A and B are shown apart, each in its own frame.
Chain A
Amino acid sequence: MKPAAFDYHAPTTLDEALALLAAYGDEAKILAGGQSLIPAMNFRLAQPAILVDINPVTTLVGIHAEGDGGLRIGTMTRQRTVEHSDLVAARAPLLAETMPHIAHPQIRNRGTFGGSLAHADPASELPAVAVALGMTLRAQSTRGERDIDATDFFQGLFATALEPDEMLIEVLIPALPARTGTAFAEVARRHGDYAMAGAAAVVTLAEDGTIAACKLVYLSIGDAPVESHSAASALLGVIPTDEAIRAAAEAMEQDIDPLGDIHATAAYRRHLAKVLARRTLASAVARARN
């Protein structure tokens, strides 16, 4: 239960950090909050030769209001800061609703916003919310900067579009359109445990009360965030009555193929996915109407 030896670097600027990643590539791991990496190292599931600790890079911290009503969040912003941000509550209520579900307060004090996204654990909340809100993930390396859509960023179990020399530096969250409601819900055995299933819904109503846009994204249902396009198409252009939402939850089933594990069987996850679809879509619709 002790980590293997490694070389430790603690750069104080982004340029220094990127130079280290360029020099060491695959051999190096970025240490952000460390709340997933250090347990993996304690178990020796991860034995990186080099750790690049970016905690001293203070320019990567901050929550900024963008002119278009959106948000820009620095990768090293602690999860607890996002959770308690009035700006996040006002501009990205889905994110504010989700944050308390991430592990425990002690973990969120240390865990970072960008770290959780870059780790891409399929059971974690932020990747699903990133897809639901259409976030843009900005990566940088010594070769330059590029923007990656959340949908393209998550590529499977702990796998992302990031190259070994790239670092996630900030995340852009677009403004919510008018008449939009959002909701998050998950089912876990105990508060703070990994959820057996969770869902994020974003619903935009047209002026006539029909659904103009809809996203339903799951965590813990596949090896990356799983978006149900069938549920969305079932709802597009219709008035979201209870029956319509129920039908969308039924349509969702063809988009998922959950696996069973010691926490939940595949059949139970499938059941949860349906219940969560109904709950999150119904609350998102109710909030969009207000």
Chain B
Amino acid sequence: MSHEITLTVNGHAHTRTVEARLLLSDFLRHELGLTGTHVGCEHGVCGACTILLDGVPVRSCLTFAVQANGHEIMTVEGLGHDPENLHPLQQSFWESHGLQCGFCTPGFLMTLLPFLQENPDPSEQEIREAISGNLCRCTGYQFIVDAVKLAAQKMGEPQP
């Protein structure tokens, strides 16, 4: 059974016909070509597919594309576009070595963006709880925590 859906992704409206069983993660990657959203475990444990649905971070592998009809999505592609124009959060991950292989990074960024907007000066404990739903097998998390602290600082400064 197919359904026509219209949704906004990173500010652009898209209309597609999808099967009900198509996961939002696969819709973003295969239908829209937004491969920044990574697919790890597909059962909600790893956090690599985290996106913003109406501004809040959710697992795109645990939502059907058809459920996003009429809603607003933001993926990692909605942050900075190229190395010269990174979002301060991305820049902080770069500067603090908050990634190695980078597979988990989009999920971390999409989890952390609303977290830092709501909580501009988080404690280390709050940061660790905020990222508890995202797995990273490279960094050991310490440099990610450092990156979040740096990002909080950068995002607190007035933007040029």
Chain A residues close to B by CB (< 8 Å): 1-8, 10, 31, 34-35, 38-39, 41-43, 51, 53, 55, 80, 100, 103-107, 109-110, 190-192
Chain B residues close to A by CB (< 8 Å): 1, 3, 19-21, 23, 26, 42-44, 47, 50, 53, 56-59, 61-64, 66-67, 111, 115, 128-130, 132-133
Q: Which 10 A-B pairs have the closest CB atoms?
A: A104-B133, A8-B20, A39-B43, A38-B62, A3-B21, A191-B132, A109-B56, A1-B42, A110-B58, A192-B132
- The B contact surface, by secondary structure, is mixed
One of A5, A39, A51 near B62 (C-beta < 8 A) = A39
Please name the residue on chain A nearest to B51 by beta carbon: A106
User: Are B67 and A55 touching (Cβ within 8 A)?
Assistant: yes
For residue B131, give the distance in angstroms from its CB to the closest CB of chain A: 9
Complex alpha-carbon distance, A42 and B21, angstroms: 9
For residue B148, give the distance in angstroms from its CB to the closest CB of chain A: 14
User: Are A35 and B111 touching (Cβ within 8 A)?
Assistant: no
Q: Could you say which residues of chain B place their CB within 8 Å of the CB of A2?
A: 21, 23, 26
Complex alpha-carbon distance, A23 and B20, angstroms: 20
One of B26, B43, B59 near A106 (C-beta < 8 A) = B59
Q: Could you say which residues of chain B place their CB within 8 Å of the CB of A109?
A: 53, 56-58
One of A5, A31, A42, A110 near B43 (C-beta < 8 A) = A42
Complex alpha-carbon distance, A43 and B62, angstroms: 12
User: Are A104 and B23 touching (Cβ within 8 A)?
Assistant: no
Complex alpha-carbon distance, A45 and B47, angstroms: 21
Please name the residue on chain A nearest to B44 by beta carbon: A39
Please name the residue on chain B nearest to A43 by beta carbon: B43
User: Are A104 and B47 touching (Cβ within 8 A)?
Assistant: yes
Q: Could you say which residues of chain B place their CB within 8 Å of the CB of A3?
A: 21, 23
Please name the residue on chain B nearest to A53 by beta carbon: B67
User: Are B3 and A106 touching (Cβ within 8 A)?
Assistant: no
User: Are B57 and A106 touching (Cβ within 8 A)?
Assistant: yes
Q: Given A6-B20, A8-B1, A8-B20, do A107 and B44 touch, yes or no (CB 8 Å)?
A: yes
Q: Given A2-B21, A8-B3, do A191 and B47 touch, yes or no (CB 8 Å)?
A: no
One of B19, B23, B133 near A105 (C-beta < 8 A) = B133
Complex alpha-carbon distance, A205 and B54, angstroms: 45
- 20 new A-B contacts, CB < 8 A, other than A5-B20, A39-B42, A105-B130, are A6-B21, A8-B3, A8-B20, A8-B64, A10-B66, A34-B62, A35-B62, A38-B64, A42-B61, A51-B20, A53-B67, A100-B129, A105-B115, A105-B132, A106-B50, A107-B44, A107-B62, A109-B58, A110-B63, A191-B129
Complex alpha-carbon distance, A67 and B133, angstroms: 38
For residue B63, give the distance in angstroms from its CB to the closest CB of chain A: 7
For residue B142, give the distance in angstroms from its CB to the closest CB of chain A: 16
User: Are B21 and A106 touching (Cβ within 8 A)?
Assistant: no
One of A8, A41, A106, A190 near B66 (C-beta < 8 A) = A8
Please name the residue on chain B nearest to A107 by beta carbon: B44
For residue B44, give the distance in angstroms from its CB to the closest CB of chain A: 5
Q: Could you say which residues of chain A place their CB within 8 Å of the CB of B132?
A: 104-105, 190-192
Q: Could you say which residues of chain A place their CB within 8 Å of the CB of B57?
A: 105-106, 109
Please name the residue on chain B nearest to A38 by beta carbon: B62
Q: Could you say which residues of chain A place their CB within 8 Å of the CB of B133?
A: 103-107, 192
Complex alpha-carbon distance, A283 and B52, angstroms: 38
Q: Could you say which residues of chain B place their CB within 8 Å of the CB of A42?
A: 23, 42-43, 61
For residue B117, give the distance in angstroms from its CB to the closest CB of chain A: 14
User: Are A5 and B21 touching (Cβ within 8 A)?
Assistant: yes
User: Are A38 and B63 touching (Cβ within 8 A)?
Assistant: yes
**23 interchain pairs (CB within 8 A)?**
A2-B21, A5-B19, A7-B20, A8-B1, A8-B3, A38-B64, A39-B42, A51-B20, A53-B64, A80-B56, A103-B44, A104-B47, A104-B132, A105-B57, A105-B111, A105-B129, A106-B57, A109-B53, A109-B57, A110-B53, A110-B63, A191-B128, A192-B133
User: Are B43 and A107 touching (Cβ within 8 A)?
Assistant: no
For residue A176, give the distance in angstroms from its CB to the closest CB of chain B: 27
